[in-house]
Homo-oligomer: A and B are copies of this chain.
Amino acid sequence: MNKNKQQNKMSLKVITRVSFYYEALLKLDLPGDSYISSKKLEEITGVSCNQVRQDFFYLGISIGKQKKGYHVEKLFHALRKVLSIDKGASVIVVGAGRLGRALSEYKLFKVRNIQVDALFDIKEDLVGTVVDIKGRKTPIYHVDKLGEYLSENPNVKIALLTVPESCAQEILDELVELGIKGVVNYSPRILKLPEKTKAVQLVNDSIGASLYKVVYQTYHRK
């Protein structure tokens, strides 16, 4: 029964909470053989302990011990698995401007098993250079080379889109054409997937969304 549940597709809200649980473990850095309770997770993440247990139940994570909580290392691996980062994920960044390079060196990637393998741009003075991500040199290629690169690196399924708003849709269409399976669009322009396209995941503009949220909330607090 739990097995089945684990296979279900989580809503995006669940994913966000799961990433919070995972971040909580990273933050606390407890010994692997210690235990953490749903109450403690509530304290760190702000998610209620009832919600935590409900989520674990839904995900088929039933490793809790009464009176103790969840075995830290087991939970750690379970959450990694749920987030699909247990084997690591390789991504490319398209658009090697400030935002693109900033994302490439973003802490999240290094510590959390998500890795930027290459950047792409059209500017000739960027192409051929490398971005030094804590000693690891990541190349910048010309956008023309996207097709070649993706066929040589079939493990790369995700692209982060940091090109100017004006050409974002065009590049997205090309990425989809070339077989990319997931895209985060960091431009504020809302992009659309080509009609026929199935099974490509698009997350639109997270940066703008959180900005609007905080502006709204700040000017509307009681």
Contacts and interface: CB of A to CB of B under 8 A. Distances in A.
A136 interface: no
Given A181-B218, A207-B103, A112 B188 contact: yes
B102 A23 contact: no
Interface in A31-81: 44-46
Contact of A206 (B89, B182, B206, B221): B206
**Copies per assembly:** 2
Given A102-B98, A102-B102, A221-B201, A190 B83 contact: no
B209 A207 contact: no
Nearest to A111: B188
A221 B181 contact: yes
A23 B188 contact: yes
Contact of A83 (B44, B107, B182, B212): B212
Which range holds the interface residue count of chain A? Answer: 35 or more
Interface string A1-20: 00000000110100110111
Contact of A108 (B12, B183, B211): B211
Interface stretch (A121-129, A143-151, A157-165): A157-165
Contacts of A167: none
Given A98-B102, A189-B23, A209-B16, A85 B215 contact: yes
Given A157-B218, A217-B182, A107 B188 contact: yes
A192 interface: yes
Q: Which of A199, A205, A217 has the most B CB atoms < 10 Å from its CB?
A: A217
A191 to B, nearest CB: 10
A20 B192 CA distance: 12
B201 A16 contact: no
A176 interface: no
Contacts of A153: none
A182 B218 CA distance: 5
A187 to B, nearest CB: 7
